[in-house]
Amino acid sequence: MGGKGYIRYLANRDVMDFEIKKIDDWRYLIPKTGAMRVPGLIFSSSELMPNIRGDQSLLQVVNVATLPGIVKHALAMPDIHWGYGFPIGGVAAFSLEDGIISPGGVGYDINCGTRLLTTSLFASEIRPKIKELVSALFRDIPAGVGSRGNIRLSKHEESKVAVKGASWAVQKGFGTEEDLERTEDYGVMKGADPAVVSDRAFKRGHDELGTLGSGNHFLEIQSVEEIYDQKIAGVFNLFEGQLTVLIHSGSRGFGHQICDDFLKEMGTQVRGLGFSLPDRQLACAYIKSGPGKRYLAGMACAANYAWANRQIIMHWTRETFEKALEIAPGDLKMELLYDVCHNIAKLETHVLGGKKVSLCVHRKGATRSLPPGHPDVPQRYREVGQPVLIPGDMGTCSYILAGSQKAMEETFGSTCHGAGRVLSRRQAIKAAKGRAINRELEDRGIFVQSRGRNTLKEEISEAYKDVSLVVEAVHMAGLAKKVAKLRPLGVIKG
């Protein structure tokens, strides 16, 4: 092993030191020490490590490694940064027999995720109309803090959404069965039980279906700038200069409330679990316990709501393009490439020590990266692997990758999910003081509309790591394979 270093943190009034060893150019190890049950493993590069060392996300990796039932490693992707309990960009798998499930390992925005739409158009064809197109999308797709959609649900109907997911939306006329085939898990997580969801969660979600939300959620019109693998790009129906659309949204207030409800419940019961937590934000329950089973059922409800949400937003996006561009669906050919989630816990089968075992895999700010031949990859993509969607910030670029076998071997079939923040929202607003961010972007050929007064300042490029460095790290580490690079043309944000 070449290169090592130590990090010192002030944690719970005690000074905590731990070692970081460089394994190779793309992997760093935190050896098992103290209460850690497994080592920590970080996927990164020398360019990205200073940022990672600069916050307390590695301390969170160490903390996750102390949780009961964790197997192999507590993992960190190169976009890792400080989160609630678990780091954002963290992956951890737990035994179903003696392992735990933690809402902090999934996040507040359950099944926050992305879906990418391809078209038959060249971006150059619509560039003269980009402002009008962005304005039309901004009018038709509700976005922003507290945004309300055009769909009003009774509790009974909302319960159906929570059980059926994206298929509920398709049955209501929002899209086609083919969309479901190109959505992770066909857009539905089994085991959802609306009976475990609070009335407050239902109230928060009854009029938010079909809305983007706020913060880093967006709808982005893009152009395929570069193809890295022509064969996979062909299977994914991608070509240089192509017009694409990337949607990023989640389960809105419905999922947020479900997370909050279970964090409070588990936080009051954790003393009876027989182990101590290094951080109260890691509130959890044994997977086989009553609270653990109920959280899984509630989380599935939120995941299904999110898939229905993105399905509806996509359908309205198609309609807006057709109207704004005065083009027929057959000429537009706006098709779903794939939909992936990156805040979720899933019961999956993996190989450990040469044996197949059932595990609960937490991915918080991490995306599934399944290899060629995997049965959960849609048949149309099975030869080349699952499409992996990695959004950057609104001023740089995004990437499409393909899943890999090495990810199955090293990270439970996982890779990064985005660029990863380096500035808090408050720090970003301070850094953007006195600047007209929308004008800066427009000078670079990117037209942006947002509802929040400070949204564009919070989301400046400087607030994020260089997504190209993040993607290069997972590509070189073998966790996913680069397929295409996308450039933003127009963006709507809350």
| Residue 417 contacts residue 342 (beta carbons within 8 Å) | yes
User: Is 276 among the domain residues?
Assistant: yes
User: Is 77 among the domain residues?
Assistant: no
Q: Beta 113-122 vs 242-249: how paired, if at all?
A: antiparallel
What region does 3 belong to: left with phi over 0, alpha with psi -120 to 50, or beta?
A: left
Residues taking part in catalysis? 417
Alpha helix (H) residue ranges in 117-197: 123-126, 130-140, 155-164, 166-171, 177-181
State the pTM of this model. Answer: 0.95
Going by C-alpha positions, the residue among 422, 461, 456 that lies closest to residue 436 is 456
User: Is 82 among the domain residues?
Assistant: no
User: Is 437 among the domain residues?
Assistant: yes
SS3 77: strand
Task: Give the domain CATH number at 201.
Answer: 3.90.1860.10
Cα 377 from Cα 366, distance rounded (Å):
17
Count of Cβ atoms closer than 10 Å to residue 349 Cβ: 8
Domain count, the chain: 1
User: Is 30 among the domain residues?
Assistant: no
Supply the DSSP string of 385-431, one letter for each residue.
--EEEE---TTS-EEEEEE-HHHHHHSSSEE--S--BSS-HHHHHHH
Q: Beta 74-81 vs 343-352: how paired, if at all?
A: unpaired
pLDDT tens digits in sequence order for the chain, 494 residues long: 344 565 555 444 344 577 899 999 999 999 999 999 999 999 999 999 998 988 899 999 999 999 999 999 999 999 999 999 999 999 999 999 999 999 999 999 999 999 999 999 999 999 999 999 999 999 999 887 777 778 899 999 999 999 999 999 999 999 999 999 999 999 999 999 999 999 999 999 999 999 998 888 999 999 999 999 999 999 999 999 999 999 999 999 999 999 999 999 999 998 888 899 999 999 999 999 999 999 999 999 999 999 999 999 999 999 999 999 999 999 999 999 999 999 999 999 999 999 999 999 999 999 999 999 999 999 999 999 999 999 998 999 999 999 999 999 999 999 999 999 999 999 999 999 999 999 999 999 999 999 888 899 999 999 999 999 999 999 999 999 999 999 999 999 98
Cα 67 from Cα 39, distance rounded (Å):
12
The residue range of the domain holding 433 is 113-493
User: Is 23 among the domain residues?
Assistant: no
| Residue 118 contacts residue 224 (beta carbons within 8 Å) | no
User: Is 453 among the domain residues?
Assistant: yes
- Amino acid in the structure at residue 430: K
| Residue 237 contacts residue 337 (beta carbons within 8 Å) | yes
Going by C-alpha positions, the residue among 494, 492, 490, 493 that lies closest to residue 223 is 490
| Residue 123 contacts residue 241 (beta carbons within 8 Å) | yes
> Does an H or E element contain 352, and which?
strand 343-352
User: Is 14 among the domain residues?
Assistant: no
